[in-house]
DNA sequence: TAAACTATGCTTAGCAA
DNA sequence: ATTGCTAAGCATAGTTT
């Protein structure tokens, strides 16, 4: 029993300075881990407090990662159920598609992951629709508030199409739907 | 020294089930704490990995809370510097205002908080502008991706104005600008 | 109502596979 | 590139002020 019988196998978590990580490989790992952690936190917040939460991260490469509208219920219903006089038939169609994708994801996840935690390339349109609806919704709310500040006129601009030319196209969009089953959502014991 | 000299003053953090909090007062507290934690995490991620991150949370009451574009540099520059042929003079104006608000906030924060961590009602327009620009930007990216899925046509809709009638108007928008001073941003040792 | 306090649960940096 | 491990840093539930 030497003074230090068990040599520590690792140094455990180390404090790091919050500044740009230079080592590219480490940046990639940190981004993945922290993004997952951020999304989990967002999901928990949304469930605990029944709030719509959206998290979006654009990597330097231009990839889009997003966690969408946890308590999707209100947003989705509003989006699918609004005065879509010309899109009447679409609501049902999308819902169907939604369920379809959901089952696929559950299957794909196998138990460790979540169906919605997939790259955008593999996601159905329903998810993107919902995510964008939430974004639009939130943006409108902010705009409204700005309007109250009596400067709305200054905001009547839209971004150019080349606003982000660094995009490479391998990003991912995650949508967390478990809030739709408030009595029956999945357990949080996922490891991303 | 008795076997239990120091009676534990608290039980420390307790594990909680991730489901909707019923007690309204507790929900309010949890929302505040976790939202702050979520924003901090987002800020760290953005700095560590140099990524644009946006977090939006809409409370059941309809209040909007948002943390915007940590690595605001690219977004802000793009927004202020885009082809605003009719808004040429605004860029400088906004920048000036930005700095103005920044100094105010630093002063107001006093050392414990961040100037941008204030309710929207107290924020200048610059922050709202940047936040909305980031949102628009991100939304466009997602839309673009959806377009690649050959279903963009399905998305040419906009939300009605009454999309959120539960809004009470006391939400807040936080914009984290420290990324603009990558060499000189504030320390993260805040406790909110 | 909001802020401060702690003990404990949770996240994650550094490795390893 | 991911995934799992461990230890230590960090976030936060319950409580007090």
Confidence tier at B7 by pLDDT (50, 70, 90): confident
CB B179 within 8 Å of CB B71? yes
Contacts of A79 (CB under 8 A, 6+ apart): A129, A130, A133, B159
d(CA B65, CA B58) in angstroms, rounded, equals 6
Selection from B12, B86, B44 nearest residue A18 by Cα: B44
pLDDT of residue B139: 54
- Strand C bases within 7 angstroms of protein beta carbons: 1-2, 4-16
Rounded mean pLDDT of A15-43? Answer: 90
pLDDT at B54 (0 to 100): 73
Residues of chain A with pLDDT > 90, as a percent, come to 10
**Residues 141 through 180 of chain A touching chain B, CB cutoff 8 Å:** 141-146, 148-149, 151, 154-155, 157-161, 163-164, 167, 169, 171, 173
Tell me the pairing of strands B64-68 and A64-68.
Answer: unpaired
Coil vs helix vs strand at A106: helix
With H, G, I as helix, E, B as strand and everything else as coil, classify residue A84: coil
pLDDT digits (tens, 9 = 90+) for A164-188: 222 223 334 444 433 322 222 222 2
Say how far residue A17 (Cα) sits from the centre of its chain: 26
pLDDT at B9 over 80: yes
Partners of B163 on chain A (C-beta within 8 Å) are 78, 82, 137, 140
Provide the mean pLDDT of chain B. Answer: 50
CA atoms within 13 A on the CB side of A84: 19
- Could you list the protein residues whose CB lies below 7 A from any atom in strand C? A 9-14, 16, 26, 29-30, 33-34, 36-38, 40-41, 44; B 6, 8-15, 25, 28, 41, 112, 191
- Whether B128 contacts chain A with CB within 8 A: yes
The pLDDT tens digits for A78-125 are: 222 222 222 222 222 222 222 223 333 333 333 322 333 333 333 344
The residue-averaged pLDDT of B121-148 equals: 48
Cβ A176 vs Cβ A69: under 8 Å:
yes
Residue B104 region by backbone torsions, left for phi larger than 0, else alpha for psi between -120 and 50, else beta = alpha
Pick from A30-44, A70-84, B178-192 the range whose average pLDDT is largest: A30-44
**CA distance linking residue A101 with residue A108, whole number of Å:** 10
Give the mean pLDDT of A43-47.
86
């Amino acid at each position: 029993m030497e003074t230090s019988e068990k040599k520590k196998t690792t140094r455990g978590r180390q404090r790091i300075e919050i500044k740009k990580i230079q080592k590219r490989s480490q940046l990639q790992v940190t981004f993945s881990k922290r993004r997952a952690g951020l999304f989990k936190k967002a999901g928990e917040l949304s469930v605990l407090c029944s709030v719509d939460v959206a998290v979006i991260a654009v990597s330097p490469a231009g990839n889009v990662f997003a966690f969408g509208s946890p308590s999707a219920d209100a947003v989705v219903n509003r989006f699918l159920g609004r005065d879509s006089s010309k899109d009447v038939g679409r609501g049902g169609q999308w819902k169907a598609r939604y369920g379809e994708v959901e089952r696929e994801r559950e299957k794909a996840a196998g138990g460790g992951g979540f169906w919605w935690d997939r790259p955008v390339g593999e996601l159905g349109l329903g998810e993107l629709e919902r995510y964008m609806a939430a974004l639009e919704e939130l943006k409108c709310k902010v705009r409204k508030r700005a309007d109250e500040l009596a400067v709305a006129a200054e905001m009547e601009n839209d971004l150019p199409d080349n606003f982000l030319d660094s995009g490479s196209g391998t990003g991912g969009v995650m949508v967390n739907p478990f809030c739709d089953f408030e009595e029956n959502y999945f357990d949080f014991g996922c490891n991303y």
